[in-house]
Amino acid sequence: ASGDATDVEMPELGESVTEGTITQWLKSVGDTVEVDEPLLEVSTDKVDTEIPSPVAGTLVEILAEEDDTVDVGAVIARVGDGSAAASEKPAAKAEEKKEEPKAEEKKEEPKAEDKPA
């Protein structure tokens, strides 16, 4: 998937703005993102804004951390199209999330019944 990755660059956020500070990552490595879905929040001396993903895919690499000040044009992340990985991982995550709460509820219910008895 790394071979098919698209660089996410710090965009030009104003005429005289040459850098921005990453205030918060909204996505984590491995997350699936859609085109124009916000990846992170950036603060400059003129504006605070969200930086959208240029492509749909999976966030494969974060190259700048929160509180880093990054020059305009610098690569801050990579989004891979990773078609196979992207389609498999979210499905597995969704299934795990759905199954886990049910399993926990089942475990908790018998315990509650056992204690009074």
Domains and CATH numbers, the chain: 2-114 (2.40.50.100)
Position 106 pLDDT exceeds 50: no
- Whether the CB-CB separation of 10 and 20 falls below 8 Å is answered with yes
Order of all β-strands in the sheet with 19-25: 48-52, 38-43, 19-25, 69-71
Distance from C-alpha of 59 to C-alpha of 23, rounded to nearest angstrom: 18
Judge whether residue 91 has pLDDT over 50: no
pLDDT band for position 51 (50/70/90)?
A: very high
Considering only residues 100 and 37, tell me which one the structure prediction assigns the higher pLDDT: 37
Per-residue pLDDT tens over the stretch 26-49: 999 999 999 999 999 999 988 999
Alpha carbon distance 79, 8 (integer Å):
7
> Which has more pLDDT, 92 or 43?
43
Give the pLDDT confidence score for residue 116 in this predicted structure.
54
pLDDT of residue 4: 80
